[in-house]
């Protein structure tokens, strides 16, 4: 009972999911399918008997697979039957395939046709004839070639039926030829050689893959029938199969030719449900239990090591040991009950490990995630780009080397090439990589197989790499074998070529090694460099053919030609110095007890950590001016705490004033003691040291408990400071654990800002969202590259169920189940309040942390639900584009830039600013221009401000120069502030706080206003408003457009 | 001032045409200029407008010659305008042109008339409009400037009165659209006023440009705005100066503010000291007052404090005074543990209540989940691909 109620939401959800994906076997639909199939049957029956078939029907194909003696006389198929998932009622939408088994008559084969690809050739020719006649009939709208599990020597026909009914999904009929009992099974034993051309001298090379390929067709119908009978009338088993198919389909790395297929899943389940598998699945289980048992079996069962064997049927019975011995060469074994055929003969070692890993991850998802991990298991797409940290794409079009030895050996050349690339990558990356997957889906449907197999290299080959710990993965030096070990050393040198060098190491050893020297901020490129070197060296590929997805988005973080993150070390040093000086101050009334960094730059999550400024130095240090010296400087917040005292005043204002007084005192003291220039306003005290500007803030502990404005629920300054402090230290810890966290946050922040959403999603909120990806990575592993992390961030933003669930970010594992319950209660009450008032839910994005269980800190007022919708919509399209860019051949960098180019026509008005009046013009990502719409205002730029110190400014003493340095001067913020003050609630302002030159305005329409009321008057009014907006930003506004007006 | 006994009062301006022959003579000239200018623009706008314009011109001529017919034609005009209002865009532009040309004919006489029109109703209307347009008061100032130009150009006949009048005209124009719905003579008059505006602006286009150097960018020009809507050509975009000479807005203001906020450490310190002294005095004052109150009658009301010194604020329940945080926490923890010792299920009714609550909670959770699933289904959250 208890567990039932606990799992209730999961079961409800699973029911709903099944409703979505199950096929409705309504009478009109089944009739449609039956009619189509019988029409196909009729069309095949019309093929004249005794038709002589020769290689001329498809000379290219016959040539490429290398078959001899292929002539035969056409005979009608022995049977045409519906089989596969449709007959089992286990089709998972949206792919509705009806498999039709066409049993080729024994008469067309000779006894020895299992040799030398004769069977494959005849099989293909047989299909060619069927195709020809299907095309003539009216049943098919289109007949296309496809391949059986990506095995191009075994093509199948896909018929797009002409008959359709409106409400039913699109059905494809796959015509799959079978050859039941055409050959003697013993001749196809795994140890035998059946391709004579492969023989080297007298040694007979066994051809297990080739043999399996034929065996598969011999027993396809029998096995399918066996599986069908197992599933027949067992509703839960069928439903679990559909769930497993959905699960697998979401995981493109395992639902693949070298790993899993729908049929294979059903075979595994049939094994578990019969005596052969010890009846692990029985009739008393419900759907989810069967799902779980199957998953558990895949992930953990020891049987995989020995192989799964169905109990043999009928006369064919050899001992288990014998069968096992014959199947040794395969990494995974599921042996059928008839012939010793291995269902998993296509499965590779890597594919199998991947499958086990995915299943294990899924199990932990079911246990750990809310609602039984429903979203993680079934709804989240685990595709190549999001799963692997590095993706490499090889464009092998026209690469002769792939098929140098012929297209079809024991295995096909493409599969062999996959293996070759895989082993090269393994050797090159060594222990840097945890998992490497190489997949080449090289048979797109619709290609013309009659003309041969050379066209099958159009699609790119994909390499996915998951790295081990980043320390290992981004290691600069690889130490090879000792120089004395001549053989090994030679091998090493042969593998690495000119990259290998003899080095003497600290411990005295002299060894071959490879060194991948680079700047600290370019470390993430090491894997790219290694793999490109290896692939180019050993596969004779040109650099253009290799696309490594790793640095394509770095352009958005660079300043000039380097990543400003490299200044972080000097920043931290400067902070240490400041902190020490502060603590040593003794001429202030209260001593400083602690100094805490608050700014994101201190925790490596600032998009643009400041560069040391030549004017922000302490006294006595001579500045070295670069060519271009900025006239502005960003300050970095530092929080200090004073020792306790009972003399603080009680009022809010008085406390703040006292703090200011303290800070001024501290500033003066620093100035006189250490020569740090102090730049102060009434609210901000900034000191310059080591090239940085630090803004000091005092946390008054007692301020946390008194004086907060309870009525308006506005947190007091001290409360905010305190939350900043806790957030900062928490993120700092996380950043230390995951070095990739910083870059991902920076990309995410840049993306949010680039789409003018700076006001909607604060920096801290972004940091928490990204932190969530690292704390709760399921169904993935923790991301280890910036692009993967960024993609997952975009998907989180767009897919998370913000309306109905709080996002709990538990960085240090501080939250007990009770705390989580409390958060949920808080969330519920906030949503309830919304339902009662019928207002927009607030906060729309509920972000709870250990220090903030009410989500008051960062998302209290923004994003609003409409802003969140915009965010999610942008994230969705960006995520789709990014995934596409990773998977598909898209060589120009422009498309990558599109991720950060925001469409300007989604606003009612666009204000463009003078680029040369932005305080940090180098932070501008793309200059915005607008060619459409109506140009309303044009403004001249002010001469009062220039972002760079002009030569004229450089006169005067150093102290004068320091006075000219503008701290935190941000005309954009001033402009937005003035604009909102002048037109409160008139429009919403969207801008890029990182230094964009465009501002978007959308009109705030109050609901009561009558729509369409005097459009003209309104429009006129708007133009007037825009003119005053232009006036408000005089000297800064370049132009204002109405993008939608014609 | 003659008014008819029934029906609509005739627009006063129109009547004046008869009286003031001089002006009527002037009109055709200005009108010709107008037509020329418009023709130029029409080339870019296509044939349709040209046709419309011809029609309106002919109407204008009618007005010129037989003033009695005017109201009717005008009524037609109003109707037509309404129709056209529905479809924005080019057509609207056309209408503007047409009415403007007509206005040339009529309006200048109206200016004369304005002084002696004492129609209460109209005043009322104006008041309303003022209210509506209060937000745009700044605009009115600009309009004034324009009127200056208008005066210059229209034979320097206008006096203070007309200026005020025109101001009203401007306001009326803003509310024109609502007024158009009423077919009263007053309204017609109002609309005509608008046309004064348009016309005078048109006439002064050139001189204004010449002067814009002096008068600056401040004058926002209504007519330009209208033209923009029709043809966003380069020369009609509102220009804003760099503002380097004006520190009330824009970049200059921000820079000035930036520097004003940094007067130097001493001055800042001084300010804070001043504040703190004032604050201290204020506190002192308050204390003294209280003391004085106490001293006055020699007695004061004593509030009974139960137990020890108060350490928590009664309203918010938070700790006040100099109590160490840790001590408070400890005390709270103690309190909690004490209550726990007794246990919440000491009495049978408590047990029963707890059970009932649990079931209620489970029920409500179930309901919530169901509701959520429904909402999720509506959002198609169950379609995996």
Q: Are residues B28 and B145 in the same domain?
A: yes
What are the C-alpha distances in Å from A653 to residues A169, A711, B230, B274, B275? 68, 17, 55, 14, 10
Find the DSSP H helices in A649-756: 652-674, 717-737, 741-754
A931-943 burial: b if 16+ Cβ within 10 Å, else e: eebbbbbbbbbbe
Q: Is the pLDDT of residue A355 over 50?
A: yes
Q: Are residues A595 and A574 in the same domain?
A: yes
Task: Kindly state whether residue B146 falls inside one of the protein's structural domains.
Answer: yes
Q: Are residues A946 and A811 in the same domain?
A: no
Q: Choose from A22, A803, A944 for mutation: most chain B CBs within 10 A.
A: A944
Q: Are residues A453 and A581 in the same domain?
A: no
CA distance B142 to B221: 8
Asked if A967 contacts A635 with a C-beta cutoff of 8 angstroms, the reply is yes
Q: Which residues in chain B touch residue A1014, judged by CB atoms under 8 angstroms apart?
A: 177-178
Q: Are residues B163 and B272 in the same domain?
A: no
Q: Are residues B197 and B277 in the same domain?
A: no
Task: Kindly state whether residue B107 falls inside one of the protein's structural domains.
Answer: yes
> Quick one: pLDDT at residue A695?
92
CA distance A266 to A261: 9
> Quick one: pLDDT at residue B173?
44
Q: How many domains does the structure of chain A reveal?
A: 4
**Angle formed by the axes of helices B47-65 and B90-114, nearest 10°:** 20
Q: Are residues B285 and B369 in the same domain?
A: no
A937 → closest Cβ in B238, B269, B377 = B238
Judged by a CB distance cut-off of 8 A, whether residue B371 touches chain A is: no
Q: Are residues A791 and A921 in the same domain?
A: no
Chain centroid offset of residue B169 CA:
18
A705 → closest Cβ in B229, B271, B318 = B318
**B238/A1046 CB distance under 8 A:** no
Q: Choose from A1035, A1044, A1046 for mutation: most chain B CBs within 10 A.
A: A1035
Q: Are residues B201 and B283 in the same domain?
A: no
Q: How many domains does the structure of chain B reveal?
A: 3
Judged by a CB distance cut-off of 8 A, whether residue B350 touches chain A is: no
B242 → closest Cβ in A649, A941, A1024 = A941
| CATH code, A435 | 3.30.70.3020
Task: Kindly state whether residue B215 falls inside one of the protein's structural domains.
Answer: yes
Residue indicated by tokens 């060469």: A329
What are the C-alpha distances in Å from A47 to residues A41, A127, A135, A138, A914? 10, 12, 12, 15, 76
**A661/B276 CB distance under 8 A:** yes
Please tell me the distance in Å from A701's CA to the nearest CA on chain B.
10
pLDDT band at A906 (very low <50, low <70, confident <90, very high): confident
pLDDT band at A335 (very low <50, low <70, confident <90, very high): confident
pLDDT tens, residue by residue, A585-616: 888 888 888 999 999 999 999 999 988 888 88
Task: Kindly state whether residue B324 falls inside one of the protein's structural domains.
Answer: no
Mean pLDDT of B153-182: 40
Q: Are residues A916 and A888 in the same domain?
A: no
Residue A834: φ, ψ to 5°: -70, -40
Q: Is the peptide bond before A779 cis (omega within 30 degrees of 0)?
A: yes
**B276/A657 CB distance under 8 A:** yes
CA distance A90 to A231: 9
pLDDT tens, residue by residue, A53-110: 888 888 888 888 888 788 888 888 989 989 888 988 888 888 888 999 999 998 888 8
Among B110, B112, B111, B105, residue whose Cα is nearest residue B25 = B105
Task: Kindly state whether residue A328 falls inside one of the protein's structural domains.
Answer: no
Q: Are residues B98 and B203 in the same domain?
A: yes
**A937/B237 CB distance under 8 A:** yes
> Quick one: pLDDT at residue A169?
81
End-to-end CA separation in angstroms for chain A: 65
Asked if A165 contacts A32 with a C-beta cutoff of 8 angstroms, the reply is yes
Q: Are residues B188 and B272 in the same domain?
A: no
Asked if B59 contacts B73 with a C-beta cutoff of 8 angstroms, the reply is yes
**Angle formed by the axes of helices B222-230 and B185-215, nearest 10°:** 100
For B223, nearest residue in chain A (alpha carbons): A1020
Q: Are residues A743 and A622 in the same domain?
A: yes
Q: Are residues A887 and A947 in the same domain?
A: no
Judged by a CB distance cut-off of 8 A, whether residue A646 touches chain B is: yes
Residues 307-336, chain B, touching A (beta carbon < 8 A) = 316, 318-320, 322, 325
Find the DSSP H helices in B115-175: 120-132, 137-153, 160-174
Q: Are residues B167 and B76 in the same domain?
A: yes
SS3 of A1041, please?
strand
Q: Which residues in chain A touch residue B373, judged by CB atoms under 8 angstroms apart?
A: 9, 12-13, 16
Q: Which residue has the higher pLDDT, A538 or A198?
A: A538
Q: Are residues A766 and A807 in the same domain?
A: yes
Judged by a CB distance cut-off of 8 A, whether residue A96 touches chain B is: no
Task: Kindly state whether residue A44 falls inside one of the protein's structural domains.
Answer: yes
Range of the domain at B32: 12-236
Q: Are residues B146 and B76 in the same domain?
A: yes
Q: Are residues A855 and A792 in the same domain?
A: yes
Q: Which residues in chain B touch residue A649, judged by CB atoms under 8 angstroms apart?
A: 279
Q: Are residues A1011 and A885 in the same domain?
A: no
> In this predicted complex, what is the ipTM?
0.80
Q: Are strands A685-689 and A678-680 parallel, antiparallel or unpaired?
A: antiparallel
> Quick one: pLDDT at residue B350?
85
Largest Cα–Cα distance in chain A? Answer: 111
SS3 of B66, please?
coil
Judged by a CB distance cut-off of 8 A, whether residue A667 touches chain B is: yes
Please tell me the distance in Å from A753's CA to the nearest CA on chain B.
23
Q: Are residues A741 and A882 in the same domain?
A: yes
Asked if B344 contacts B355 with a C-beta cutoff of 8 angstroms, the reply is no
> Quick one: pLDDT at residue B78?
39
Task: Kindly state whether residue B80 falls inside one of the protein's structural domains.
Answer: yes
Task: Kindly state whether residue B243 falls inside one of the protein's structural domains.
Answer: no
CA distance A980 to A976: 6
> Quick one: pLDDT at residue A771?
94
Task: Kindly state whether residue A535 falls inside one of the protein's structural domains.
Answer: yes
Asked if A518 contacts A551 with a C-beta cutoff of 8 angstroms, the reply is no
**B269/A803 CB distance under 8 A:** no
Task: Kindly state whether residue A338 falls inside one of the protein's structural domains.
Answer: no
Range of the domain at A839: 564-894
Q: How many residues does chain A have?
A: 1046
Task: Kindly state whether residue B249 falls inside one of the protein's structural domains.
Answer: no
pLDDT tens, residue by residue, B213-228: 333 333 333 333 433 4
pLDDT tens, residue by residue, A169-192: 888 999 999 988 888 888 888 888
Asked if A594 contacts A640 with a C-beta cutoff of 8 angstroms, the reply is yes
Q: Are residues B65 and B136 in the same domain?
A: yes
pLDDT band at A825 (very low <50, low <70, confident <90, very high): confident
Task: Kindly state whether residue A25 falls inside one of the protein's structural domains.
Answer: yes
**B382/A17 CB distance under 8 A:** yes
CA distance B62 to B72: 11
Residue A407: φ, ψ to 5°: -75, -45
DSSP conformational letter for A599: S
Q: Which residue has the higher pLDDT, A373 or A576?
A: A576
Q: Which residue has the higher pLDDT, A815 or B247?
A: A815
CA distance A369 to A34: 43
Residue indicated by tokens 């009216």: A138
CA distance A859 to B311: 33
B384 → closest Cβ in A250, A665, A975 = A250
A 10 A CB-CB count for A557 gives: 19
Q: Choose from A722, A1034, A1041, A1043 for mutation: most chain B CBs within 10 A.
A: A1034
SS3 of A326, please?
helix
> Quick one: pLDDT at residue B342?
62
SS (H, E, C) A853-871: CCCCCCCCCCCCHHHHHHH
CA distance B383 to A129: 40
Judged by a CB distance cut-off of 8 A, whether residue B258 touches chain A is: yes
What residues contact residue A150 under an 8 Å CB cut-off, 6+ apart? A256, A257, A441, A442, A443
> Quick one: pLDDT at residue B13?
39
pLDDT band at B125 (very low <50, low <70, confident <90, very high): very low
Q: Are residues A835 and A759 in the same domain?
A: yes
Task: Kindly state whether residue B347 falls inside one of the protein's structural domains.
Answer: yes
Provide the token pair at A469.
Answer: 């710990």
Q: Are residues B166 and B40 in the same domain?
A: yes
| CATH code, A84 | 3.30.460.10
Where does residue B250 fall: left (phi above 0), alpha (psi -120 to 50 degrees), or beta otherwise? left
A664 → closest Cβ in B268, B366, B385 = B268
Specify the range with the lowest mean pLDDT, choosing from A629-643, A816-830, B289-303: B289-303
CA distance A311 to A911: 75
What residues contact residue B233 under an 8 Å CB cut-off, 6+ apart? none
Q: Are residues B52 and B175 in the same domain?
A: yes
Q: Is the pLDDT of residue B96 over 80?
A: no
> Quick one: pLDDT at residue B185?
37
> Quick one: pLDDT at residue A315?
57
Please tell me the distance in Å from A631's CA to the nearest CA on chain B.
13
Segment (H or E) for A438: strand A433-439
């Amino acid at each position: 009972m208890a567990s039932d109620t606990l799992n209730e939401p999961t079961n409800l959800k699973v029911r709903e999911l099944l409703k979505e994906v199950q096929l409705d076997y309504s009478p009109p639909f089944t009739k449609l399918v039956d009619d189509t199939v019988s029409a196909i049957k009729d069309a095949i029956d019309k093929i004249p008997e005794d038709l002589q078939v020769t290689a001329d029907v498809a000379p290219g194909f016959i040539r490429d697979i290398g078959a001899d003696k292929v002539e035969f006389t056409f005979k009608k198929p022995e049977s045409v039957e519906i089989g596969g998932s449709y007959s089992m009622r286990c089709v998972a939408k949206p792919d509705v395939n009806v498999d039709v088994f066409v049993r080729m008559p024994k008469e067309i084969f000779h006894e020895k046709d299992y040799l030398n690809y004769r069977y494959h050739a005849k099989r293909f020719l047989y299909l060619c004839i069927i195709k020809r006649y299907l095309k003539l009939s009216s049943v098919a709208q289109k007949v296309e070639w496809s391949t059986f599990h990506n095995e191009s020597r075994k093509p199948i026909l896909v018929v797009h039926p002409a008959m359709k009914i409106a409400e039913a999904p699109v059905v494809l009929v796959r015509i799959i030829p079978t050859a039941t009992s055409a050959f003697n099974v013993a001749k196809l034993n795994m140890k035998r050689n059946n391709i004579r051309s492969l023989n080297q001298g007298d040694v007979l090379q066994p051809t297990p893959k080739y043999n399996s390929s034929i065996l598969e067709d011999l027993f396809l119908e029998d096995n399918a029938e066996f599986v069908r009978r197992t599933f027949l009338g067992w509703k839960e088993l069928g439903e679990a199969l559909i769930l497993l198919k959905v699960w697998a389909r979401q995981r493109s790395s395992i639902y693949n030719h070298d790993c899993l297929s729908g049929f294979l899943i059903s075979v595994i389940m049939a094994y578990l449900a019969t005596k052969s598998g010890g009846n692990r699945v029985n009739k008393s289980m419900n759907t989810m239990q069967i799902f779980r048992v199957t998953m558990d079996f895949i992930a953990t069962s020891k049987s995989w090591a020995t192989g799964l064997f169905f109990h043999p049927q009928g006369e064919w019975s050899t001992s288990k040991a014998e069968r096992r011995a014959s199947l040794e060469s395969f990494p995974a074994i599921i042996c059928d009950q008839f012939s010793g055929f291995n269902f998993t003969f296509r499965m590779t070692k890597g594919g199998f490990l991947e499958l086990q890993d995915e299943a294990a991850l899924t199990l932990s998802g079911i246990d750990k995630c809310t609602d039984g991990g429903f979203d993680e298991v079934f709804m989240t797409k685990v595709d190549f780009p999001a799963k692997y940290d590095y993706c490499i794409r090889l464009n092998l079009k026209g690469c002769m080397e792939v098929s140098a030895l012929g297209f079809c050996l024991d295995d096909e050349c493409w599969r062999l090439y996959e293996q070759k690339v895989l082993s090269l990558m393994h050797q090159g990356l060594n222990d840097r990589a945890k998992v490497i997957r190489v997949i080449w889906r090289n048979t797109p449907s619709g290609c013309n197989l009659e003309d041969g197999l050379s066209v099958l290299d159009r699609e790119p080959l994909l390499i996915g790499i998951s790295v081990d710990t980043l320390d290992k993965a981004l290691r600069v030096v690889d130490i090879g074998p000792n120089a004395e070990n001549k053989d090994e050393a030679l091998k090493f040198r042969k593998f690495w070529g000119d990259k290998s060098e003899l080095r003497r190491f600290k411990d005295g050893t002299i060894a071959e090694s490879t060194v991948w020297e680079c700047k600290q901020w370019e470390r993430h490129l090491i894997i790219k460099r290694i793999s490109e070197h290896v692939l180019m060296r050993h596969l004779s590929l040109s650099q253009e053919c290799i696309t490594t997805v790793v640095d394509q988005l770095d352009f958005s973080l660079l300043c000039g030609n380097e990543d400003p993150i490299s200044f972080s070390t000097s920043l931290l040093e400067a902070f240490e110095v400041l902190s020490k000086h502060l603590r040593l101050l003794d001429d202030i009334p209260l001593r400083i007890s602690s100094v805490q960094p608050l700014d994101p730059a201190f925790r490596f999550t600032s998009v643009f950590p400041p560069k040391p400024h030549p004017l922000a130095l302490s006294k006595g240090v001579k500045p070295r001016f670069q060519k271009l010296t900025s006239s502005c400087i960003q300050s970095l917040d530092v929080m200090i705490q004073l020792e306790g005292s009972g003399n603080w005043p009680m009022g809010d204002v008085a406390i703040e004033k006292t703090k200011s007084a303290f800070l001024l005192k501290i500033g003066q003291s620093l100035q006189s003691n250490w020569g740090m220039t102090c730049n102060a306003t009434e609210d901000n005290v900034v000191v310059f040291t080591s090239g940085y500007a630090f803004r000091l803030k005092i946390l008054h502990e007692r301020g946390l408990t008194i004086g907060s404005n309870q009525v308006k629920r506005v947190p007091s300054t001290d409360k905010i400071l305190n939350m900043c402090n806790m957030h900062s230290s928490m993120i700092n810890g996380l950043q230390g654990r995951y070095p990739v966290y910083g870059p991902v946050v920076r990309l995410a922040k840049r993306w949010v800002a680039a789409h003018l959403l700076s006001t909607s999603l604060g920096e801290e909120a972004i940091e928490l969202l990204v932190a969530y990806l690292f704390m709760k990575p399921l169904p993935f592993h923790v991301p280890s590259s910036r692009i993967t992390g960024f993609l997952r961030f975009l998907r989180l933003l767009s897919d998370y169920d913000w309306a109905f669930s709080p996002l709990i970010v538990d960085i240090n594992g501080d939250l007990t189940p009770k705390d989580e319950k409390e958060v949920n209660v808080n969330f519920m009450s906030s949503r309830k309040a919304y339902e009662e008032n019928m207002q927009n839910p607030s906060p729309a994005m509920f972000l709870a942390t250990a220090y903030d269980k009410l989500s008051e800190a960062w998302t209290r007022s923004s994003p609003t639900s409409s802003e969140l919708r915009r965010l999610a919509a942008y994230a969705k399209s960006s995520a789709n584009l990014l995934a596409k860019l990773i998977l598909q051949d898209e060589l120009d960098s422009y498309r990558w830039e599109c991720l950060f180019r925001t469409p300007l026509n989604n606003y009612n008005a666009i204000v463009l600013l003078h680029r040369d009046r932005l305080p940090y013009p180098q932070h501008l990502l793309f200059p915005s221009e607008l060619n459409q719409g109506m140009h309303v205002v044009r403004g001249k730029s002010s001469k009062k401000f220039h972002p760079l110190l002009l030569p004229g400014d450089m006169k005067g003493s150093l102290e004068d120069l320091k006075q000219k340095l503008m701290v935190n001067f941000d005309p954009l913020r001033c402009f937005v502030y003035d604009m909102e003050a002048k037109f409160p609630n008139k429009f919403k302002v969207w801008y890029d706080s990182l230094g964009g030159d465009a501002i978007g305005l959308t009109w705030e329409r109050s609901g009561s206003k009558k729509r369409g009321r005097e459009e003209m008057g309104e429009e006129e009014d708007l133009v007037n408003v825009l003119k005053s907006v232009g006036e408000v930003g005089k000297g800064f506004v370049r132009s204002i457009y109405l993008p939608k007006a014609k | 001032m003659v008014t008819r006994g029934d029906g609509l009062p005739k627009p006063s301006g129109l009547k004046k045409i008869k009286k003031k022959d001089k002006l009527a003579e002037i009109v055709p000239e200005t009108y010709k200029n107008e037509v020329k200018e418009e023709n130029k623009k029409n080339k870019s706008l296509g044939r349709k407008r040209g046709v419309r314009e011809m029609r309106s011109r002919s109407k204008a001529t009618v007005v010129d010659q037989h003033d009695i017919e005017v109201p009717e034609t005008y009524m037609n005009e109003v109707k037509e305008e309404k129709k056209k209002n529905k479809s924005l865009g080019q057509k609207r532009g056309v209408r503007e042109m047409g009415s403007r040309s007509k206005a040339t004919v009529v309006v200048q006489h109206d200016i004369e008339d304005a002084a002696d029109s004492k129609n209460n109703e109209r005043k009322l209307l104006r008041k309303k409009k003022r209210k509506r347009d209060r937000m745009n008061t700044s605009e009115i100032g600009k309009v004034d400037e324009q009127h200056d130009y208008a005066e210059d150009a229209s034979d320097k006949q206008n006096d203070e009165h007309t200026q005020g009048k025109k101001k009203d005209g401007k306001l009326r124009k803003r509310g024109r659209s609502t007024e158009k719905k009423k077919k009263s003579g007053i309204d017609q008059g109002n609309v005509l006023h608008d046309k004064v505006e348009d016309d005078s602006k048109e006439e002064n286009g050139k001189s204004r440009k010449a002067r814009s150097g002096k008068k600056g960018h401040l004058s926002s020009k209504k007519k330009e705005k209208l033209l923009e809507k029709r043809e966003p050509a380069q020369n009609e975009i509102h220009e804003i100066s760099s503002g380097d000479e004006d520190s009330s807005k824009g970049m200059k203001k921000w820079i000035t503010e930036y520097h004003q906020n940094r007067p130097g450490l001493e001055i800042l310190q001084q300010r804070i000291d001043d504040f703190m002294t004032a604050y201290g005095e204020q506190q002192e004052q308050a204390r003294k007052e209280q003391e004085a109150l106490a001293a006055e009658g020699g007695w004061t009301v004593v509030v009974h404090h139960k137990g020890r010194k108060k350490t928590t604020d009664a309203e918010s329940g938070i700790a006040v005074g100099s109590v160490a945080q840790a001590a408070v926490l400890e005390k709270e923890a103690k309190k909690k543990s004490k209550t726990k010792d007794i246990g919440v299920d000491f009495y049978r009714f408590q047990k029963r209540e707890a059970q009932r609550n649990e079931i209620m909670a489970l029920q409500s959770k179930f309901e919530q989940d169901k509701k959520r699933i429904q909402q999720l289904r509506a959002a198609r959250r169950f379609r995996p691909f």
